[in-house]
Structure 1
């Protein structure tokens, strides 16, 4: 069986589809990932065969590129993310099943769905389709206890963390003795704090006796390195380091939130946008996190004080860690990607 996967927007979407893609490949199926040019390096870094596709906002060009790809490499099944409605159009044109896999914990905002429908309508007309086709199967990696009331039925799947790796050092997989560990990360596209503000936050956390790690791109690490003294700062493999932490402070990225939940670690979330706010509400509502109110318009200095106070509360209040561990246990009971592959095989059976 040939399975065409799609990803778009950020490298986190590549990491999110990778476990199912690799499970299919390990089961003997052929896989291919179509993603924008900037994401191909991320796919190569985790051994996912990938080809370039135009950016999602270029609807006609992306659909034509996918149709052209299907002529050279005819798939038996296509899999796209929650927001990849164009993949449904492709599947209808090819007369093959379409599977929708949630990339992370975040629900699609209703207004976003409406905009997608409006943008795809010309493509439906062009291909002679009366309506946007629905998926043959929806896969959700969100823990069932965190799914919003009234969410459509979906096949649950266990979240398996996947990210770029580097040569491991013992500190990355060994929990420090006698002191808590706090990880700060803002993903690859944003920065939570400037250098001076980051130093103040690190000093505040160090004052609690915590060891502080700062996950950052090479460029950001170079900019922050001297300001943070002997704090470890740089590219950190989150899947390995998260289980050694007692708290993670982050920007509300879906893959980050899910990886930390999988590790059973509480979170303090500073949402960077509306999508991140939805993720923050879900995780904070579960009792496994605190959210710094996104509507705050304070200075960086005031924000540091609020974040530091939230970190102290989480580190000193056992219920956050207890709730995070309970969610990790729930995630561990869900069907693995390898089990889901068997369902995919029945969808594509002649």
Structure 2
């Protein structure tokens, strides 16, 4: 069987899909993962065949409409979700021609698209093959899909579709306790943290005398000032601080902040030795913290990240972490939240409950069998 996986413009989306893609390849199936050119090195580094869906840099779709006019990030969560759908819709539209060119010569039997890869259902419909939607994090997409549908109206009309096609199978990787009440029926799957690696050093996989706080802005690092502010605030705690960031940003941090330990630190190695993970409201980072049962503090820089908001709120409601909105990111609020998460053992206890739930879900290798049934 040939399976085409579709990621998006950040390494995190690749990491989210890799466990299932690797399991399918290990089961003997042919696998290609398509994504914007900027993340092809990440796909290749993880041993999967990459294909460029578009050479346009991903920030272009977020900051400009199809005519090249500037767009503004909304300042409220509802519009923020629609905005997210629209720019992922623009990414899908730009990806269609290259993807159809690929499938003309390498015809897949099945297409697996990540949460917001809207080209996946369109290409699958055009080819008449099953489409599977796999969550790459705990993001809710109810408020996002309508924005993508609006943006892709020309493409939907061309295919004679009133709306985006539903998947033949939805794969969810969230802990069952964090699924929203309105969640669609899903094939649950145990998700395994994936990221690019570097040589392991003893300090990464061992604990020191102090409690450890891991700070990360994700695989892209976000903007330097936001990351620097996160690190400076957390460094005021009585704890060891390590910063997982792309080397370019990490080097600047080391230059400007004395004694900070920053670099491309594999999160799956350092997370088990951490007492708290402070992050940028990243979906894959959040799942990694849950996987290892580590409390988390999510800091939302803008409403463009609102699509993660509901999932992070559910983590907070469960007592496994805390979340701060853009208007709440003061030094005092961040410091107080970190202190609460470090000093109250209930946060660790609740995080470990969710980790146990995730560990009980079907393995990716078991889910491959469900994919095979779709094409039988």
Q: TM-score, normalised by structure 1?
A: 0.91
Q: Structure 1, residues 167-208: CA drift from partner, whole Å, max 9, x if none? A: 1111111122x3211101111241475687456425412xx2
Contact kept, 8 Å, 2:216 with 2:227, in 1: the verdict is no
**Cα drift, residue 89 of structure 1:** 1.8
* Alignment-derived partner of residue 328 in structure 1: 355
* Alignment-derived partner of residue 119 in structure 1: 151
Q: Structure 1, residues 17-73: CA drift from partner, whole Å, max 9, x if none? A: 000000000000000011001111111221221110126515444222211111111
1:232 to 255, 261, 274: 261
Say which SS state the counterpart of residue 297 (structure 2) adopts. Answer: strand
Alignment of 1:74 onto 2:134? no
Alignment of 1:89 onto 2:118? no
Whole-Å Cα distance in 1 between the matches of residues 241 and 201 of structure 2? Answer: 16
* Alignment-derived partner of residue 42 in structure 1: 42
- Structure 1 window deviating more from structure 2 (225-234 vs 35-44): it is 225-234
Whole-Å Cα distance in 2 between the matches of residues 167 and 14 of structure 1? Answer: 21
Q: Structure 1, residues 205-234: CA drift from partner, whole Å, max 9, x if none? A: 2xx2x2111112111111110333223111
Contact kept, 8 Å, 2:7 with 2:113, in 1: the verdict is yes
1:124–1:144 distance in 2 versus 1, CA, 3 Å: same
* Alignment-derived partner of residue 346 in structure 1: 373
Alignment of 1:185 onto 2:212? no
**Cα drift, residue 155 of structure 1:** 0.8
**Cα drift, residue 83 of structure 1:** 1.9
Contact kept, 8 Å, 1:199 with 1:227, in 2: the verdict is no
CA RMSD of aligned residues (A): 1.9
1:100 to 133, 137, 149: 133
* Alignment-derived partner of residue 245 in structure 2: 216
Q: TM-score, normalised by structure 2?
A: 0.85
Whole-Å Cα distance in 2 between the matches of residues 191 and 61 of structure 1? Answer: 26
* Alignment-derived partner of residue 23 in structure 2: 23
Whole-Å Cα distance in 1 between the matches of residues 111 and 13 of structure 2? Answer: 16
Matches within 5 A, 1:234-313: 234-272=263-301, 273-296=305-328, 303-313=330-340
Whole-Å Cα distance in 1 between the matches of residues 154 and 123 of structure 2? Answer: 14
1:80–1:348 distance in 2 versus 1, CA, 3 Å: same
Q: Structure 1, residues 115-160: CA drift from partner, whole Å, max 9, x if none? A: 2112333223323445532111000011110011111111111111
* Unaligned segments of structure 2, at least 5 residues: 57-87
Contact kept, 8 Å, 2:253 with 2:260, in 1: the verdict is no
* Alignment-derived partner of residue 185 in structure 2: 153
Number of residues of Structure 1 aligned to a counterpart in Structure 2: 339
* Alignment-derived partner of residue 139 in structure 1: 171
Whole-Å Cα distance in 2 between the matches of residues 338 and 40 of structure 1? Answer: 24
**Cα drift, residue 7 of structure 1:** 0.6
Say which SS state the counterpart of residue 175 (structure 1) adopts. Answer: coil
1:180–1:58 distance in 2 versus 1, CA, 3 Å: closer
* Unaligned segments of structure 1, at least 5 residues: none
* Alignment-derived partner of residue 364 in structure 2: 337
Say which SS state the counterpart of residue 39 (structure 1) adopts. Answer: helix
Whole-Å Cα distance in 2 between the matches of residues 82 and 230 of structure 1? Answer: 39
Whole-Å Cα distance in 1 between the matches of residues 9 and 158 of structure 2? Answer: 25
- Structure 1 window deviating more from structure 2 (267-276 vs 196-205): it is 196-205
Q: Structure 1, residues 241-290: CA drift from partner, whole Å, max 9, x if none? A: 10110001111100000011101000111112312323321221221001
Say which SS state the counterpart of residue 150 (structure 1) adopts. Answer: coil
Whole-Å Cα distance in 2 between the matches of residues 276 and 134 of structure 1? Answer: 22
